[in-house]
Chain A
Amino acid sequence: MIEQSLPALAKALATKEISSVELTQLYLDRIARHNPQLNAFITVDPARSLAQAHAADARLARGEGGPLTGIPIAHKDIFCTQGWLTTCASKMLSNFISPYDAAVITRFKAAGAVLLGKTNMDEFAMGSSNETSFFGPVKNPWNLTCVPGGSSGGSAAAVAARLAPAATGTDTGGSIRQPAALCNLTGMKPTYGVVSRYGMIAFASSLDQAGPLGRSAADCAVLLNSMAGFDERDSTSLDRPGEDYSREINAVTDGQPLAGLKIGLPAEFFGDGCSPEVMQLVEQAIAGYRKLGAETVAIRLPSMGLSVAAYYVIAPAEASSNLARFDGVRYGHRAPDYQDLNEMYSRSRAQGFGAEVKRRILIGTYVLSHGYYDAYYLQAQRIRRLIASDFAEAFRQCDVIIGPTSPSTAFKLGEKAADPVQMYLSDIYTIAVNLAGLPAISLPCGFAGGLPAGLQLIGNYFSEARLLNVAHRYQQANAWHLQSPAEL
């Protein structure tokens, strides 16, 4: 059962082969058994999850089930969840029980999905290894001495270890795609504005986007169908007609399903900076795509090299402001002892935030300061526009862009923790996508030294269905994504 796809699970539930309560219990048992080693979940609440499963079973019995009804889904602890602890993996919110549901949660509830638990993450989504969590690091199920990637590391580890059939994540600079790559999953960051940010605790508002983490592109399409949609509570949400993200996947094709597809290979993705093992796997995947009928074209993304620098101005700038609300006044951690207002602020925040969060608040405060704003923030915004126009130019020559998701496979716990710049560079291939607001997907493309590597596909705005299909066709012809780690 734990290797079943979401459509297969939906069928098993519809045909009463298994009930939602049984399925949920199965995963709760697996969480109870394996989470102590993985630390993928921050909060599990079996009674609540099972109550939702009971309701789902009743709905299924009425014949009113949909593609996700009764299926347990794990949610990154960045989504506000009514009645659940919602911590963002921070001491600051370690006592925060949300009084409301994020839009993403509301949509999964409406679909009848069961909330399986809240997954661990980098604190406030700031990190690429899941080591900045107040609740401790998450381990990679493929190798417990390695990181699962971040910031959606808990979601990735949970799905990879089959502690959940699928999960949600958020991606500000690669936080879905990089852990997907490091855990042998398929993960998508949709076009900015496709999924509502309402109730998703903000890190960098202009870059944050929620998306699915699953075992296949087909599963991600099912998840995205539930997650996407206009929300008037989010001013950056895009008011577009609804679409079925599975439509291209479900279309019947012949032996060369990607005939005519033009894949762009940016020189900037194939130079230095990527480990040879990962690069070899990416090259093999490209060869695989040619077999499926795709052709490749060489392209350039000349401003790519500036993306990490621009990102580490813009994201901290927005974060420094977004995190100002965590002041100990209305909710969250408040220092027990203080003499006056300023001390209450400074102690509450000094105690409530971890080192990486503080580092980014300091950077962000600095780059927005009087006299530095033009040199840093405005300059970074200019770079952002250059990057977006690089992609616009590229998509005149190709349909999708391919490259590695992450320059390496999973690194050791602690290996980069002391070196922020090395850590930041692990997002070198993913960050530009967020700066441009484009959709991208990471899918498994093989193993090096027993650790999975990810292939990244980047599409033009609103090309999610196309990207999911391009990933799906590869997964029809290759079985990397079906590999699971040894049972713990």
Chain B
Amino acid sequence: MKQWEVVIGIETHAQLSTQAKIFSGSSTAFGASPNVQANAVDIALPGVLPVLNRGAVECAIRFGLAVEAQIAPRSVFARKNYFYPDLPKGYQISQYELPVVVGGKLSIQIGEVEKVVRLTRAHLEEDAGKSLHEELGHQFVGKSGIDLNRAGTPLLEIVTEPDLRSAAEAVAYARVLHALVRWIGICDGNMQEGSFRCDANVSVRPVGQTHLGTRREIKNLNSFRFMQQAIDYEVQWQIATLEDGGRIEQATVLFDPDSGATRAMRSKEDAHDYRYFPDPDLLPLVIDAQWVDRMRAQMPELPAAKRDRLITDYGLSAYDAKVLTTSLELAGYYEAAVAAAGKSNAKACANWVTVDLAARLNREAREISDSCVSAEQLGGLVARIGDGTISNNIAKRVFDAMWNGEGSSADEIIARDGLQQITDSSALEALIDEVLSANATMVGEFRAGKEKAFNALVGKAMKATRGQANPQQVNELLRKKLG
């Protein structure tokens, strides 16, 4: 049996986080009533003209800088002509021959191996509106509705070279890209609302063959899970088809999550001739070096650089560093917590953020930006663990109290509730003596060789101190007294 190699390239439409549309002043906010956010330009009244939103260009420049691409000093908007009811002008303004971002690369991690995915280009374009075939209400039965709120929303279409070799790699790439566009603040990444949509060009070829097989394009993958499933299915289907002696026809396909299968939407024969030509209503987009420099100065530290710095500066594990750099907000939270706790507590901060805080956020379905405990509060808490004021167990109680708004800082809560660890050994000794005399049976059992009884005595002692004793110290004192 032949060995097959899978070849995948991804095209991603990232909706850019600008307030206004790319060629009109309308708002881009999601969820408004149909056609409320569509002005004269968006509905393509006769005579209206597009004016480029420079904010969208700045998003493209940021992206180009983040992937080490070339920012084209001159790029051109072109018209992509086709008829569809949710495309009001009868053409989409896009970039064709001269895109704004050329080349670039993105690193992905496959197990322990790092792989560099080459980008072909990224170009600016406008989104279309939406056709509504259902949910129109009884007065519109059998009709389709058009909602042009989305028409003209800025998109950055990011195209890779056919560098990916499996569904897992494709998903890894999509995840890294998703994190990056959010990190640099150009896209909210909301896949459910369609802010980040991927198309996968999939082909297979016998291992060793140099030319590419015929590809099919899976459109509109709006979750990583669907992407994995769709590509897996498509690859199996293509291999099965070829092994049965069939041929792959170039086609556009859709993934049906219910059946788990892809099905052809249109073949190459029905492919549109989009009759691209430069849009005469828009001047070429000129980006000078000063503009790029200005954008570069505003760029945040990128995930990879931050990851490396967390490892070298704070001594974090690669794993922790990776988790903490999944989003700019999380990384920012972490660094602010360390700033409050002191660098010596950096590792403890990492544990608190990635374990306790993460679990709590997860349980309450909150984002890091909506955390009830601020980075400064958490840092203050970790500092008190670090200097021995409280134990980890008490710290969890303090954390809960802060989370519930019962106190504005760890110090306040510790002082108010008297949670400080008992370190005075004479006080502790007196307490332990009480415990021993109250639990003579257990003491007897221990002396008879039952090691378990010792643990029970530690528990009794800790309970008597309401957990405020240093468990280590209690242990030592007990051994001494029983020994």
Query: Interface on A for B, CB 8 Å cutoff?
Result: 79-80, 86, 88, 93, 96, 98-100, 102, 197-202, 204-206, 232-236, 317-318, 320-321, 323-327, 329-331, 341, 345, 365, 368-370, 373, 377
Q: Which residues on the B side are within 8 Å of A205 (C-beta)? A: 280-281
Interface of A is mostly: loop
Is B73 engaged at the interface, CB distance under 8 Å to the other chain? no
Interface string of B75-99 (1 = CB under 8 A from A): 0000101010100111100000000
What are 12 A-B pairs at a CB distance below 8 A? Answer: A99-B45, A197-B49, A202-B47, A232-B51, A236-B281, A236-B283, A318-B280, A324-B83, A324-B89, A325-B46, A327-B85, A373-B275
Question: Which parts of B35-56 form the interface with A (CB within 8 Å)?
Answer: 40, 43-52
A236 to B48, CA, bound (A): 13
Question: Which parts of B14-63 form the interface with A (CB within 8 Å)?
Answer: 40, 43-52
By beta carbon, the residue of chain A nearest B44 is A325
Q: Which residues on the A side are within 8 Å of B85 (C-beta)? A: 327, 329, 341
- Contact A200 B47, CB 8 Å, known A100-B40, A206-B280: yes
A317 to B276, CA, bound (A): 10
A100 to B48, CA, bound (A): 10
Tell whether, in the assembled complex, residue A201 and residue B40 are in contact, meaning their CB atoms are under 8 Å apart: no
Tell whether, in the assembled complex, residue A321 and residue B277 are in contact, meaning their CB atoms are under 8 Å apart: yes
- Of the candidates B44, B81, B275, the one whose C-beta lies within 8 Å of that of A330 is B44
Tell whether, in the assembled complex, residue B49 and residue A321 are in contact, meaning their CB atoms are under 8 Å apart: no
- Of the candidates B46, B51, B83, the one whose C-beta lies within 8 Å of that of A345 is B83
A314 to B10, CA, bound (A): 35
A342 to B44, CA, bound (A): 20
- Contact A369 B275, CB 8 Å, known A96-B46, A98-B46: yes
- Contact A321 B81, CB 8 Å, known A86-B46, A373-B277: yes
Tell whether, in the assembled complex, residue A198 and residue B91 are in contact, meaning their CB atoms are under 8 Å apart: no
A197 to B280, CA, bound (A): 12
Tell whether, in the assembled complex, residue B88 and residue A325 are in contact, meaning their CB atoms are under 8 Å apart: yes
Considering only CB atoms and an 8 Å cut-off, how many residues of chain B contact the other chain? 28
Is B422 engaged at the interface, CB distance under 8 Å to the other chain? no
Is B146 engaged at the interface, CB distance under 8 Å to the other chain? yes
A10 to B277, CA, bound (A): 47
Is B282 engaged at the interface, CB distance under 8 Å to the other chain? yes
A45 to B47, CA, bound (A): 22
- Contact A80 B44, CB 8 Å, known A205-B280, A205-B281, A318-B280: no
A72 to B160, CA, bound (A): 60
Q: Which residues on the A side are within 8 Å of B48 (C-beta)? A: 198-199
Interface string of B265-282 (1 = CB under 8 A from A): 000000001011100111
- Of the candidates A198, A199, A341, A369, the one whose C-beta lies within 8 Å of that of B273 is A369
Q: Which residues on the A side are within 8 Å of B276 (C-beta)? A: 368, 373
Q: How far is the CB of B28 from chain A (nearest CB, A)?
A: 19
Beyond A86-B46, A199-B48, A325-B88, 5 extra complex contacts between A and B, CB < 8 Å: A99-B40, A321-B90, A324-B91, A325-B46, A325-B89
Tell whether, in the assembled complex, residue B275 and residue A80 are in contact, meaning their CB atoms are under 8 Å apart: no
By beta carbon, the residue of chain A nearest B281 is A205
- Of the candidates A100, A235, A321, the one whose C-beta lies within 8 Å of that of B45 is A100
Tell whether, in the assembled complex, residue B89 and residue A102 are in contact, meaning their CB atoms are under 8 Å apart: no
Tell whether, in the assembled complex, residue A233 and residue B90 are in contact, meaning their CB atoms are under 8 Å apart: no
By beta carbon, the residue of chain A nearest B274 is A370
Tell whether, in the assembled complex, residue A80 and residue B282 are in contact, meaning their CB atoms are under 8 Å apart: no
Q: Which residues on the A side are within 8 Å of B43 (C-beta)? A: 330
Q: Which residues on the A side are within 8 Å of B282 (C-beta)? A: 235
A370 to B274, CA, bound (A): 8
7 closest A-B pairs by beta carbon, nearest first, are A324-B90, A368-B275, A206-B280, A205-B280, A199-B47, A201-B46, A325-B44
Tell whether, in the assembled complex, residue A317 and residue B277 are in contact, meaning their CB atoms are under 8 Å apart: yes
> In this complex, which of B48, B88, B276 has the most chain A Cβ atoms within 10 angstroms of its Cβ?
B48
Q: How far is the CB of B295 from chain A (nearest CB, A)?
A: 22
- Of the candidates B47, B81, B146, the one whose C-beta lies within 8 Å of that of A329 is B146
- Of the candidates A88, A100, A199, A321, the one whose C-beta lies within 8 Å of that of B275 is A321
A232 to B277, CA, bound (A): 23
A323 to B280, CA, bound (A): 14
By beta carbon, the residue of chain B nearest A323 is B90
A341 to B133, CA, bound (A): 13
Q: How far is the CB of B80 from chain A (nearest CB, A)?
A: 10
Q: Which residues on the A side are within 8 Å of B40 (C-beta)? A: 99-100
Q: Which residues on the B side are within 8 Å of A370 (C-beta)? A: 273, 275
Question: Which parts of B115-162 form the interface with A (CB within 8 Å)?
Answer: 146
Tell whether, in the assembled complex, residue B47 and residue A80 are in contact, meaning their CB atoms are under 8 Å apart: yes
Q: Which residues on the A side are within 8 Å of B90 (C-beta)? A: 321, 323-325, 327
Tell whether, in the assembled complex, residue A377 and residue B50 are in contact, meaning their CB atoms are under 8 Å apart: no
